[in-house]
Structure 1
Amino acid sequence: MAENLHTQATLPLNQNPASNYNIHPSDANFTQLVSFKFNGEGFTSWKRAMLLTLSAKNKAGFVNGTHCRPVDETSPEYLAWERCNDLVCSWILFNLDKSIAGSVIFLRSAREIWLDLKERYGFTSLAKIYSLEQRLADISQGNASVSEFFTSIKSIWDAIDEAHPLPYCTCNNCSCNLTKRIF
């Protein structure tokens, strides 16, 4: 057991399973991580699917800002960070439509790409909300099964919720003045 711990400590950061910088041999840079490439529509669904996959691969920190570029460019950690960042960048680029990927390909970090996409596509206009509410008002079961009909309704409800979510209490003792923010 002690021998195994010593072996893990001497492994390069990209090969150490306990490291945030671990790259598994199956982590190809041309991997389709989610079921659809982002083409400018459905950003919140694509973002959620990407975050789930990145989290499962222990790489969400490269887009959410918790795995920052190390300051010392000569350290082994810097090289490991750079390699992982490049891998996450390539995953994001491969899971984007060609035209969108082309607009972010020269950004230097996965975090920069993520923030650029979020700034451009992470908002919902009032026209989009109106369109979703109109679709909800116009929906009918027709020949669909109850399950298919409910799934259609639920997907619209979820899109509306994502478009303008209600704030929620994060302080556990209601000192955050949530009711003042709602009303």
Structure 2
Amino acid sequence: MAGFEDASASGKDKANTPSSDLDSPYYIHSTDYPCQMHVNDSLNDNNYADWSREMNDFLVAKNRIGFIDGTIPKPTEDQPEYKAWQRSDAIIKGWITTAMEKEIRNSVKYATTVKQIWEDLQERFRKESAPRAYELKRTLTNM
């Protein structure tokens, strides 16, 4: 009987892990795998605004937006949720990098977290958008 109780207890503990809770940002569905394309077009030098909006919406729908906006910080290795966080971060990195052109993917492949990738992309592409937006506004004003 003791062996049966121990097995039941360990099964019960496993069922209560963050990755098995449907409302948890660590939940991994059986259809979630890293190399899935979840946006209409791959990120290139000309579509960052549309791409990031689509990816943001997808991550909100998957309850994973906190990994890129910092509301789900990386736990320390001694915290119980560290492994679940690590798995989720790896899957999100796969989703994001799969949706990039090869040159862009190569430039972010050494980032250690998906948050670092997201911040790098924002820094890189938003800077180019500001001068272009100014140029467009000026052209419109002149018309």
TM-score scaled by length of structure 1: 0.64
> What is the CA RMSD across the aligned residues, in angstroms?
2.3
Unaligned runs of 5+ in 1: 1-6, 139-183
Residue 48 of structure 1 is matched in structure 2 by 53
Q: CA 1:75/1:96 → structure 2, altered by over 3 Å: closer, same or farther?
A: same
Paired residue total: 131
Q: CA 1:45/1:133 → structure 2, altered by over 3 Å: closer, same or farther?
A: farther
Q: CA 1:27/1:136 → structure 2, altered by over 3 Å: closer, same or farther?
A: farther
Residue 33 of structure 1 is matched in structure 2 by 38
Q: Give the letter for the 1:18 counterpart.
A: D
| Structure with the higher helix share, 1 or 2 | 2
Residue 68 of structure 2 is matched in structure 1 by 63
**Given the alignment, which residue of 108, 114, 118 partners 2:112?**
108
Which has the larger Rg? Answer: 1
% identity of equivalent residues? 29
Residue 86 of structure 2 is matched in structure 1 by 82
TM-score scaled by length of structure 2: 0.81
Q: Tell me how far 1:75 sits from its aligned partner.
A: 3.1
Tell me if structure 2 keeps the 8 A contact 1:31–1:94.
yes
Unaligned runs of 5+ in 2: 1-11
Q: Tell me how far 1:16 sits from its aligned partner.
A: 1.8
For residues 66 and 116 of structure 2, the distance between their equivalents in structure 1, rounded to whole angstroms, comes to 12
Q: What's the CA shift string for 1:92-148, capped at 9, x where partnerless? A: 10011111000001100000000000000023243454247648989xxxxxxxxxx
Higher relative contact order (CA 8 A, sep 6+): 2
